[in-house]
Amino acid sequence: MKIDVLTLFPEMFNSLNYSIIGRAIDSSLISINYINIRDFSQDKHNRVDDYPYGGGPGMVMKPGPIYRALESVKTKDSRVVYLTPKGKVFNQSIANELSSEQHLVLLCGHYEGIDNRIIEHYIDDEISIGDYVLTGGEIASMVVIDSVARLIPGVLGKDESYIDESHYNGLLEYPQYTRPRIFNGSEVPDVLISGNHKKIDEWRKKQSLKVTYLNRIDLLNMKSFSEEEKKLLNEIKNELEVEK
Ligand code: 6GU
């Protein structure tokens, strides 16, 4: 996958050169280009923003520099995404969808936003990473890149499977433990040391249901349950009732 990032702050993206995404770049599974929108200003002061028509606080990014920056990278196969708190809220299913694209163009906004004619005519998707406001689209863009890149075949090692993890099957991930078996007096659950894989799978399924029930009831309400899951959920509710 090729990714072009249009930004006023290319240096902010240095953190992507580490760990799994860094390796994916080194091994050419993804290639990321950074385009500084300021390089496309035609103003003698290199200005990229201006006052809003109609008045009001803040500055708006001018359409010209963004348009020329977009035109410098866009092909007929590009998917152009604008990162904005006004966008559709990003989730795992959007990450899956974007991970099959050949070419992503990520536009990072700043100030009070960008001239709306860019959004109307040159943007395919507007994406927000959640219901809070950031100072610009750069960090949001890195969130999208990380979550999309790790879904590309070969990016995760074969031991870094994403089959069981949080948000894959609509449930949050079960708890994990490693050595030592006793840490500050607290023991690893016996079942994980039993070697009984059927029991381990059932324990993990129940723990997934439990953490989802406790932290993200909204996710559970969207799910349909197997008979086994209904039984486990009833056990969880009864156990929590006893603890009260
Ligand atoms: Cl994509 N941009 C900004 N500026 N703030 C955000 C966001 C994006 N997503 C959530 N908050």
CATH of 165-243, one of 3.40.50.1100, 1.10.1270.20, 1.20.1050.140, 2.60.40.420: 1.10.1270.20
Distance 137 CA to ligand 1 centre (A): 6
- Mean pLDDT score of the chain: 95
Report the C-alpha gap between 56 and 146 in whole angstroms.
Answer: 35
Report the C-alpha gap between 42 and 65 in whole angstroms.
Answer: 8
Confidence at residue 169, expressed as pLDDT on a 0 to 100 scale: 76
Could you report the per-residue pLDDT of 114-131, keeping only the tens digit for each? 999 999 999 999 999 999
Helices (H) and strands (E) in the chain, counts: 8, 9
Q: Decide whether any atom of ligand 1 lies within 6 Å of the 131 Cβ.
A: no
What contacts 24+ positions apart, CB below 8 Å, involve 223-230? 223/170, 223/171, 229/205
Confidence at residue 244, expressed as pLDDT on a 0 to 100 scale: 86
Distance 43 CA to ligand 1 centre (A): 28
* Fold adopted by 2-149: Alpha/beta knot (3.40.1280)
Could you report the per-residue pLDDT of 93-119, keeping only the tens digit for each? 999 999 999 999 999 998 889 999 999
Confidence at residue 162, expressed as pLDDT on a 0 to 100 scale: 67
Confidence at residue 111, expressed as pLDDT on a 0 to 100 scale: 82
Distance 224 CA to ligand 1 centre (A): 32
Pocket of ligand 1, candidates 8, 60, 61, 83: which has the most ligand atoms within 8 Å of its Cβ, to mutate? 83
CATH 1.10.1270.20 domain locations along the chain: 165-243
Confidence at residue 63, expressed as pLDDT on a 0 to 100 scale: 98
Confidence at residue 221, expressed as pLDDT on a 0 to 100 scale: 92
CATH 3.40.1280.10 domain locations along the chain: 2-149
